[in-house]
Structure 1
Amino acid sequence: MSEFPDTPTQAEEIQAELERCRNYLRFLADIKLHRRLRRQIDPSDMVQETMLKAYAAWDKFAGSEPGQRVAWLRQILMRTILHALRDAHCAKRDIAREQRLEGLIEESSRRIEQCLAADESSPSAAVQQAEELMRVADAVYQLPEAERIAVVGYYWQGGTLSEISETLGRSAPAVAGLVHRGLRRLRGQLIDMDSRELTNT
């Protein structure tokens, strides 16, 4: 069997499936990679590299269910980020001016290793979590940019209002408002998605 798809139609189907998972992969990269490491490791680059690896290995995947495919993509992403973190750790002397860099690398590495270990110990739970996070990710990336940064930063990245205010260039009270509005909008979008799914069943 060849490493890449043999027909244009098959290639288009794979690319469409990968694009369907892009928000999910982007969301995972955003919440697992410490925000202070973004200058060294770009989450978008990690997602793109993951999609290229998955495309090349598509016919080697042994699962049969869509949720298993999504969980498989998550493992590829986590390993891709972990390798990038290890490379950054090896190169930390070259970027020693970044305070706390080593600690941030270790923290992000620990999160990702825990995620991979959980997937391996309970594959069925990994599939269920992947399916749930796909819905959340699609809703998150429908939010206006400022609300998305505030909500993801506060609820998933563990940032404080003052830290997020530095990122957005807004006051802490303004960020609190963004978090409140973003969370309300996110809940509404998830309810709408559930309603559409019920209508289509």
Structure 2
Amino acid sequence: MTDCGDPEERLDLFRRAISGDTESLDRLLASFSGYLHVLSRTHLDKRIQHRVSPSDVVQETLMEAHRDIANFHGLELHEFTGWLRQVLVHNIANAVGTHMLAAKRSVHREQLVGSLSASVDHSHQRLSALAADAYRSPASEAGHQETLSELAAALEQLPSDYRTVIVLRHLEGLDFAEVADRMERTSGAVRMLWLRAIEHLRLAMEKQS
């Protein structure tokens, strides 16, 4: 993750970015890359990821956010985070509509966007809860957003199995039996994998502090 410094510096960066400072906007958007990757990997239909990758969707989202920053009318950092999620949702919907013929025939775009928006927001809430429960509960909104970005960036650095078990358990809210079924492992093996993954995530977070 691009270092934005402490929460107050991040808030100042946000204010300069939405005021028209292009360099600040570049740094701010880069700091959200890991966060968007986590959400994209979780919600981009696995059946089309051989055609369009989560990274492709994130790159398109960052480019569109940079281009369309004038369309953002909020004044708070959490509003900017929500706006980025909506840009991501629309790009995931575009990918599904382009690469899944069944979706073209059976799902109206408005329904797809609405469903994706709800599920992405739910994942955001779960990610926020993981950040607050496992690490710290910042006093400020800027501090919370900073922690959220740090957590997502650390999650992206984990080995694939560690990242998968945390995403399934925390972002998708599956119980250990469901995670075991999805990962084709025993429940006991999944529990041990999850414990190791959480410890590695904690260490990765400490390195960023």
TM-score, with normalisation over the residues of structure 2? 0.59
Whether the aligned pair in 1 keeps the contact of 2:29 and 2:62 (CA below 8 Å) is yes
Alignment match of 1:54 (pick from 65, 86, 100) = 65
Structure 1 equivalent of residue 155 of structure 2: 140
What do the CA deviations read for 1:71-97 (whole angstroms, capped 9, x no partner)? 1111100111112212233x349xxxx
Structure 2 equivalent of residue 114 of structure 1: 118
The structure-2 alpha-carbon separation of the partners of 1:148 and 1:58, relative to structure 1 and needing over 3 Å to count, comes to same
Structure 2 equivalent of residue 177 of structure 1: 192
Tell me the percent identity.
Answer: 25
Q: What secondary structure is seen at the aligned counterpart in 2 of 1:46?
A: helix
1:17 equivalenced with 2:37 (yes/no): no
Letter in 2 for 1:48: Q
Letter in 1 for 2:156: Y
Q: Kindly state the Cα deviation for residue 108 of structure 1 after the two structures are TM-superposed.
A: 7.6
The structure-2 alpha-carbon separation of the partners of 1:86 and 1:133, relative to structure 1 and needing over 3 Å to count, comes to farther
Letter in 2 for 1:41: V
Structure 1 equivalent of residue 54 of structure 2: 43
Structure 2 equivalent of residue 6 of structure 1: none
Alignment match of 1:160 (pick from 166, 179, 197) = 179
Q: How many residues align?
A: 160
The structure-2 alpha-carbon separation of the partners of 1:140 and 1:164, relative to structure 1 and needing over 3 Å to count, comes to same
| Equivalent-residue separation in structure 1 for 2:189 and 2:46 (angstroms) | 20
Letter in 1 for 2:57: M
Whether the aligned pair in 2 keeps the contact of 1:33 and 1:108 (CA below 8 Å) is no
The structure-2 alpha-carbon separation of the partners of 1:108 and 1:180, relative to structure 1 and needing over 3 Å to count, comes to farther
| Equivalent-residue separation in structure 1 for 2:181 and 2:49 (angstroms) | 18
The structure-2 alpha-carbon separation of the partners of 1:58 and 1:23, relative to structure 1 and needing over 3 Å to count, comes to same
TM-score, with normalisation over the residues of structure 1? 0.61
Q: What secondary structure is seen at the aligned counterpart in 2 of 1:62?
A: coil
Q: Kindly state the Cα deviation for residue 109 of structure 1 after the two structures are TM-superposed.
A: 5.9
Structure 1 equivalent of residue 133 of structure 2: none
| Equivalent-residue separation in structure 2 for 1:50 and 1:174 (angstroms) | 36
Q: Kindly state the Cα deviation for residue 179 of structure 1 after the two structures are TM-superposed.
A: 1.7
Whether the aligned pair in 1 keeps the contact of 2:40 and 2:58 (CA below 8 Å) is yes
Structure 2 equivalent of residue 67 of structure 1: 78
Letter in 2 for 1:17: L
| Equivalent-residue separation in structure 2 for 1:141 and 1:108 (angstroms) | 26
Q: Kindly state the Cα deviation for residue 180 of structure 1 after the two structures are TM-superposed.
A: 1.9
| Equivalent-residue separation in structure 2 for 1:174 and 1:38 (angstroms) | 27
Q: Kindly state the Cα deviation for residue 162 of structure 1 after the two structures are TM-superposed.
A: 4.2
| Equivalent-residue separation in structure 2 for 1:116 and 1:27 (angstroms) | 10
C-alpha RMSD of the superposition: 3.8
Deviates more, 1:156-165 or 1:57-66: 156-165
Structure 2 equivalent of residue 151 of structure 1: 166
